[in-house]
Amino acid sequence: MRQLTLSLLLLLGCQFLPAQNGGDHPHRHIEFPDVPGFLTIKCDLHQHTVFSDGNVWPTIRVEEALKDGLDAISLTEHLEYQPHKADIPHPDRNRSFEIATQFADAFDLLIIRGAEITRRMPPGHCNAVFIEDANALLVDDSLAVFQAANKQGAFVFWNHPDWTSQSPDGAAHLSDFHKLLIKEGLLHGIEVVNQFTWSPEALQIALENDLTIMGTSDIHGLI
């Protein structure tokens, strides 16, 4: 129950991210109380910059997080999808993390190294956070990339499982491949909230398979 409560608090905290506007607006700073016996950490583990398909430089994500009062963020750039590469060619998939980390060094903000595994269904899109090297995840085989992420000690979660581009009926469905990932201990969480949407089916999948309940902004533009 405590794990579920903490997951829901993190989910709710991240859910408010896209609704925050107006720069230094006095109501922008997000506050959540600590749960007795625990420390509540406000974080967003699904963000993008121009180093994949986002519209801002990594330092902007740091400034937004500071204004929102977050404790940690992860710039989870798409590994396989690089629409800006003609203008911003970068062979190093760790580059946005490095820029953000250097900029955030003077502030009390944790930058978590992450990446978005971007495949067709199954498995679809999944984030790997707390990784050591995003470049090592550039492998063709879908099972091998999850094994490589876990070898680095990653926490891996399934992104927007109800996304209509990959689930036409707008509902999350557990495929045989996802069942294999869960059985092998390679998938640890699932997004129940992604930006403005939430998935009751994803919540049920989380509860039935002991997956961490996630909520993220998946922000591409300005917050």
pLDDT digits (tens, 9 = 90+) for 208-217: 999 999 999 9
- Mean pLDDT for 167-172 is 95
Pairing of strands 114-118, 110-112: unpaired
Peptide linkage before 122 cis (omega within 30 of 0): yes
Q: Is residue 154 pLDDT above 70, yes or no?
A: yes
Q: Is residue 25 pLDDT above 70, yes or no?
A: no
- Mean pLDDT for 184-192 is 99
Q: For 168-214, where are the alpha helices, taking DSSP H only? A: 176-183, 200-209
Q: Is residue 12 pLDDT above 50, yes or no?
A: no
Q: Is residue 180 pLDDT above 90, yes or no?
A: yes
Assign 28 a pLDDT band (cuts: 50, 70, 90). confident
Least confident of 5-14, 32-41, 82-91, 93-102: 5-14
Residue 84: φ, ψ to 5°? -100, 10
Chain center to CA of 11: 11
Amino acid at site 172: A
Q: Is residue 201 pLDDT above 80, yes or no?
A: yes
Residue 166 in contact with residue 135, Cβ under 8 Å?
no
- Mean pLDDT for 114-140 is 98
Distances (CA, A) of 94 to 32, 74, 90, 106: 31, 11, 9, 20
- Mean pLDDT for 164-170 is 94
Work out whether the CA dihedral 93, 99, 100, 106 comes out positive or negative. Answer: positive
* Predicted local confidence at residue 216, as pLDDT: 98
Assign 27 a pLDDT band (cuts: 50, 70, 90). low
